[in-house]
Structure 1
Amino acid sequence: MRTVMKNLVFAFCCILFLSNAAPAAELSLSVAASLKEAINELTAEYGKKKPGITFLKNYGASGALAKQIEQGAPADLFISANREWVDYLQNRKLTDEASRCAFAYNSLVFAGTTKQPVAGMKDLAKLRKIAIGSPGSVPAGEYAMESFKAAGIDKALDGKLVMAKDVREAMKYAELGEVDGAFVYRTDALLLGKQARILFAVPEGLHDRVIYPMALTTTGTGKKEAVEFLRFLQSAEARKVLEKYGFAVK
């Protein structure tokens, strides 16, 4: 009888402990595809400090992510590869304007496997196929199109452009040799295999500066855990991780 009572008391204590334990928090992140490796490392590091948090990460083209959020997809934090798609959500009152800030900066390069001498924008007309992210939703593609027009070569590239769903897909086309080269971010090009290489950097004067703004969504702004994670992403520790992957932080 004494043993039975001990077991009952133990079981009751376990139930009481579990009922009082803080539930694990889930944070949903919608992040530009080019930040994948950096964000994976940052969430892993943060998870060591806050083991009760689970991150649900959605990587993709900034425009596609913004449309998903607009349609009700769960997201507590949005990090875009340009201002346009944060503006898009802000205009629809789906992000917290007060939380908006710059996360990182990047640069645009042309990378590929072509054996033809390609040293600058004027050399692109002699190539067969060039991959870019679809400009309607992929900021890297928008920056590329902006650069073509500024360099006066947009007409010369008619019929040569292969549209990719995001910058990582454009990079894959280049790496596999399915196109002569692709316009990707410098940080993406640093991940290329030995066969592909950076052929030239796009002069920054040809396009707006590549900026990654971030903001809490209206859902995220009500979560203490999301606010704290946003603060971590602005820390010196986070900046070191970004620099490790080739991003600029100012």
Structure 2
Amino acid sequence: MQLFARSLFSALLVGAFLAAPASAKDAKPSAMAPAAAQDKTLTVFAAASMKNALDDVDKAYTAKTGAKIVASYAASSALAKQIEQGAPADVFVSADTAWMDYVKDKKAINEPTRVNLLGNSIVLIAPKDSKIDKVTIDQGFDLAKLAGDGKVAVGDVKAVPAGKYAKAALEKLGAWTAAEPKMAMAENVRAALALVARNEAVLGIVYSTDAKIEPGVKIVGTFPATSHPPIIYPVAATSTAHKGTDDYLAFLRSSEAKAIFEKYGFSFLVSPTT
């Protein structure tokens, strides 16, 4: 009798399962539910010098679309190496074409999406209360003499785009050899900017856009555009980019984004899409 009862109970359980609605049987764990929300989140790796401007652009994009943008800022060299190693980025914005070429050669970007988006310039800065004022930067410019016993803050000239532009300009103007021992190398251009703002360096070479957002420094001179390679910020989707990246890239080329970038001092190198 007990055996019959157990068999009957088991049969009822199996029948109940088979009769259950398909939606209940096929339900996935709740942790999988937010897939749609994940599709609306994009990760952007961008050069440190873009932080303030791109933060505002991303806020505008989120307000318009509801998509969430997670931005990571660092030296273009560091970001390119991270992308090469498989970091989960959807978009890469470099401060020079060399590091974009690097990730292209590693087959880490979607090459047809690549666009030269922005331009910039490099300037000589000093702490806000410095006695150094207007400086003419041309052939024969003596940066070493101007710095005296102090240091000149720059991005690492071997890897950081701002540092490479600075070295190229100083070499072209005949100032590099004497000035090299005075260089204080920083991990990115914003770190170089901070050294000057804190009076830990008497001078610095940064992008004009960086100098304009830091109240602790002043621009004392501008490097001629002919003294260094063109400063170009290319943008591209990575080879592992998620759905929605194309819409974001289109927004970066829009009139709305153009107005924000130009407000921060960048030049806009493409024709606005809208």
Q: Taking structure 1 as the reference length, what is the TM-score of the superposition? A: 0.87
CA contact (8 A) 1:118 1:124 kept: no
Q: Confirm whether residue 217 of structure 1 aligns to residue 238 of structure 2.
A: yes
Larger displacement relative to structure 2 (118-127 or 97-106): 118-127
> What SS does the aligned partner of 1:27 have?
strand
CA contact (8 A) 1:138 1:165 kept: yes
CA contact (8 A) 1:78 1:215 kept: yes
- Partners of 2:175 and 2:184 lie apart in 1 by 16
Which runs of structure 2 are paired with 1:147-158 in the superposition (5 Å)? 147-158=169-180
2:43 match: 28
Q: Confirm whether residue 120 of structure 1 aligns to residue 136 of structure 2.
A: yes
| Residue in structure 2 matching 1:146, options 168, 176, 199 | 168
- Partners of 1:232 and 1:117 lie apart in 2 by 40
CA contact (8 A) 1:63 1:136 kept: no
1:191-213, Cα deviation, whole Å (9 max, x unpaired): 121x4210000011110111100
C-alpha displacement of 1:49: 1.6
Aligned length: 231
CA root-mean-square deviation: 1.9
2:69 alignment partner AA: F
1:163-217, Cα deviation, whole Å (9 max, x unpaired): 0010001001111111111100001000121x42100000111101111000110
> What SS does the aligned partner of 1:104 have?
strand
CA contact (8 A) 1:34 1:188 kept: yes
- Unaligned 5+ segments in structure 2 are 1-23, 270-274
Aligned-residue identity in percent = 38
CA contact (8 A) 1:104 1:248 kept: yes
- Partners of 1:85 and 1:170 lie apart in 2 by 20
CA contact (8 A) 2:126 2:132 kept: no
C-alpha displacement of 1:20: 10
Q: Taking structure 2 as the reference length, what is the TM-score of the superposition? A: 0.80
Which runs of structure 2 are paired with 1:114-193 in the superposition (5 Å)? 114-116=130-132, 119-121=135-137, 122-126=141-145, 127=147, 128-193=150-215
| Residue in structure 2 matching 1:111, options 125, 139, 157 | 125
Moved over 6 A (4+): 18-21
Which runs of structure 2 are paired with 1:23-62 in the superposition (5 Å)? 23-24=37-38, 25-51=40-66, 53-62=67-76
- Partners of 1:240 and 1:42 lie apart in 2 by 9
2:8 match: none
CA contact (8 A) 2:46 2:72 kept: yes
- Partners of 1:231 and 1:88 lie apart in 2 by 23
Q: 1:48 to 1:125 in 2, by over 3 A?
A: same
> What SS does the aligned partner of 2:159 have?
coil
Q: 1:21 to 1:210 in 2, by over 3 A?
A: closer
- Partners of 1:36 and 1:157 lie apart in 2 by 29
